[in-house]
Every structure is written in structure tokens, then in C-alpha cells.
Amino acid sequence: MREIQCDGHRPVQLSRNKGICTLKNGSKIESYSVGTMRGNRAKIMVIDESPEVKADDLDAVIGPVRNTKRDICHQRGIADYPSKTISITSACLKSNYFYAMFVSALRDFAKGSTGSFACALDYRSAARVGITDMEFFRKEQRKMPEAKFAMEYGSIFVGAESGSMFPYDLTEGCRTLRQVEYAQPSGSSSDYVIGVDLATSTDRKADNAVICVVKLADMENGAYLKKLVYLRSYHGKRLDALAEEVRRTFSRFPRTTRIVFDHRGLGDAFPQFLAQPWIDPESGKEYPPWTLDDERTIIHNAVPILRSVKASAQINQQLVSCLRVA
């Protein structure tokens, strides 16, 4: 209070658009919503809940606000310190632009830059300095999903794709495989289906190729209980190498009835890499060629096991609906 210039009014003056506190040394602390800040100037910008601010507003509105030199520095010809932006927030999804900004600042900081600073303090820091009792966090941990607690109180940025068909909140509870099979159990009478998602780019941010195995267990009503029992991803492998991995997977799950793949794009050439006999390098056993299960071309001893899926908007919508239910 000794530092605040009151002049008979309240220490903080509030209006519909902002709050302002004037200090006796001439400095001011002002609070705005992003929409009412345009055209103002400040040396230090403190943005609370920064991920909630649109990236466009950050550049178009907040960027110019820092372009200023204090009057006293200008009048007396002394150097002013560089303007700064301080962003404060709980952790957010990695798809938010804030995550990239945070990582960029963290890397500059780690390289010794004196113009950058970044830190992530979790709930233990708050408990250690007495801001919040640890019992509060224990209660929150018991009632919140693990990933949500880690993001809200643990300063952990979790992954998600912006605008994804299956949002993080929906998929997080399904991410643990409860029954894993590296190979078909001895004496198994269940059928299996292998699914292949093709991707070959070696770019660091490119998609992975994925091979998954779904186990089909008969039910009394004639339907199947489907279980995902095996999942493996590959990055930057060519089609011939992926075909080899599919063959290896099949050799471990010999009761596989179909190998399903997306025929569009990369998948158009995929069957030709499976159209020759294959010898398992581990067992020495030779497996026959594979063809599409609707293939009209006859290849000697070929097994029609490849199921081609040519996705359309209708098929995609059916897949999305069924997978959401599952």
C-alpha cells in the first residue's frame, strides 16, 4: 500500500474493460481481457491461462503491445530493458500451440540464453512451500483419471491431435492392453485377424505404420467377442519390409483368417510384396503366396487371405461409429 498512488480512490480502479493500479514511481499494473488490449503498450506482459488465448491473438494483439520504450528512458536517453512476455498456465495438450512455445523457450534456456526462462512446477512444489496441503492433492488423485491429474497438477503435457475423430478423453481409458499375446497360445482354437495401417515416410513427424492382431472368441449367440491382443508400430520402413513384418506376425498367429489393409494410396502396391512364397528364417517353414480374397487372377497354391478395404465416406462413418461404441 505504501507504494500505491491512491489519491483518495481505491488502490485498484476497475472499469468494464480493465483494472488499473498506479504506483508512486509512475509505473502501472493493468489488467485486460485480450479483446480490449489492442493499441495499448507495456514492457512486461503476463498472460494467465495462456493456452486459452488464440494463437492469432497472440501475434496480432499481444505482440505489438510490447513494442514500447518507457518515457523516462526516452526522455533521459538511457537504455531500456527488453520487453518480456510471461505465460502462466497448467499443462495443456501437446496439440496446443503453447506446448511448442514452451519447448522452444526451454531449449533456448538450456542452451544458456539469458532472454529465455522456462520451468514446470508440479503439485509437490505447492505442498512443499505451504500453498496447498498435500491432502487436497491426494483427494484429487483418487477421484481424477491418472492422465488428467498429471496434466492439471503434475505439469505433464499429454499427447492429442487437434480436432481428432477420437479425442484424448475418450481413448485414454482404453490405452492399456489387459491381455497381450506375443504369439498364439498353444492349443488355441480362436481365430485371429491382422490389421495393417501402412506408412513409409522417414520424416520425424510422419505417421507410423502399425500392425495389430485382433482375437475372435465365439459367443453363444453366434457373434464374436473381439480383443486387441497385439500392437506394434514401425517408423520409416518400406513396403517390402512391412510385408516381411506381416509375414512374421502371421507365423506367430497361424490361425489368422484375414489380413486387412487399406488399399488406397500405399496399399495399392502392397499385395505384390506378398504374392511370392515366403520362408520363415526362424523355423525354415515355407508359406505359400497370398492373394486378395476376391482376386480373380489365379496364382498356384496362393491363399486368398488378404482383405482389401477401399474406404469411402460411408465406410469411414460406420467404422467411427462402431469404434466409438467399442
**Which pLDDT value is given to residue 326?**
78
CA angle 208–211–213, rounded 5-degree value? 150
| pLDDT-derived band at 86, boundaries 50, 70, 90 | very high
User: Do residues 115 and 219 share a domain?
Assistant: no
Write the pLDDT tens digit of every residue in 178-229: 889 999 999 999 999 999 999 999 998 889 999 999 999 888 888 889 999 9
The cell numbers describing 262, all together, are 487399406
Cell (9 digits) for 212: 495389430
What is the reported pLDDT for 112?
A: 95
Domain boundary pick from 77, 98, 123: 123
| 185 & 306 share domain | yes
Q: What are phi and psi of 234, to 5 degrees?
A: -135, 140
Residues 82 and 186 in one domain: no
Is 319 inside a domain boundary? no
Q: Is the pLDDT of residue 305 over 60?
A: yes
Task: Report the pLDDT averaged over residues 42-51.
Answer: 90
pLDDT > 90? residue 259: yes
Residues 191 and 95 both lie in one domain? no
Exposed (0-12), middle (13-18) or buried (19+): which is 248, by Cβ within 10 Å? middle
Domain count for the chain: 2
Is residue 197 in some structural domain?
Answer: yes
**Average pLDDT for residues 46-59, to the nearest whole number?**
87
* Residues 122-132: tens digit of each pLDDT: 999 999 999 99
pLDDT for the residue numbered 70: 84
Cell 486368398 belongs to: 304
Query: Residue 213 class from Cβ within 10 Å (0-12 exposed, 13-18 middle, 19+ buried)?
Result: buried
Q: pLDDT band for 297, please (50, 70, 90 cuts).
A: low
Residue 63 sits in the same domain as residue 182: no
State whether 209 and 294 are in the same domain: yes
User: In terms of domains, do 189 and 271 share one?
Assistant: yes
- What would the mean pLDDT of 47-51 be, rounded to a whole number? 90
- Which element (helix H / strand E) includes 245? helix 239-252
pLDDT of residue 174: 79
Range in 51-60, 159-168, 238-247 with the lowest mean pLDDT:
159-168
Read off the C-alpha cell for 107: 531449449
3-state class (DSSP) for residue 179: coil
Distance CA 278, CA 276 (A): 6
Percent of the chain with pLDDT over 90: 54
Is 191 contained in some domain?
yes
Whole-number mean pLDDT of the chain? 89
- Domain holding 246, by residue range, is 178-311
Q: What average pLDDT does range 20-36 have in this prediction?
A: 88
Choice among 56-65, 162-171, 267-276 with the minimum mean pLDDT? 162-171
Query: 307 and 184 in one domain?
Result: yes
Q: Which of 258, 172, 174 is nearest to 213 (CA)?
A: 258
pLDDT of residue 266: 87
Answer with the residue of higher pLDDT: 22 or 70.
22
**Do 198 and 86 have their domain in common?**
no
Whether 213 and 117 map to the same domain: the answer is no
Which residues neighbour 168 within 8 Å (Cβ) at sequence distance 6 or greater?
93, 147, 158, 159, 160
Residue 216: closest CA among 207, 206, 228, 208? 228
What number is the average pLDDT over the span 277-302? 88
pLDDT digits 0-9 by tens, 148-172: 888 899 998 887 665 667 777 778 7
Written as nine digits, the cell of 129 is 512451500
Are 234 and 299 in a shared domain?
Answer: yes
Q: Which of 2-16, 170-184, 251-265, 296-310 has the highest mean pLDDT?
A: 251-265
Residue 148 lies in a domain: no
Taking the alpha carbons at both ends of the chain, their separation in whole angstroms is 60
| pLDDT given at position 128 | 95
Give the E-state strand segments of the chain in sequence order: 13-14, 18-22, 28-32, 44-48, 84-88, 191-197, 209-218, 224-234, 256-262, 278-279, 286-287, 290-292, 303-309
DSSP single-letter state for residue 53: S
Same domain, 214 and 293: yes
Residue 326 lies in a domain: no
Give the other-Cβ count within 10 Å of 253's Cβ.
Answer: 21
Residue 109 has pLDDT above 60, yes or no: yes
Structural domain contains residue 103 = yes
Q: Which residues lie closer than 8 Å to 212 by C-beta, 6 or more apart?
A: 194, 195, 197, 228, 230, 231, 232
Q: Please give the pLDDT value at position 162.
A: 55
Q: Which long-range contacts (CB under 8 A, 24 or more apart) does 36-41 make?
A: 37/61, 37/62, 37/65, 40/65, 41/65, 41/66, 41/67, 41/68
Q: Is residue 116 part of a domain?
A: yes
pLDDT score recorded for residue 113 = 94
CA atoms within a 13 Å half-sphere pointing along the CA-CB vector of 287? 23
The H or E element containing residue 88 is: strand 84-88
Does 110 fall in a domain?
Answer: yes
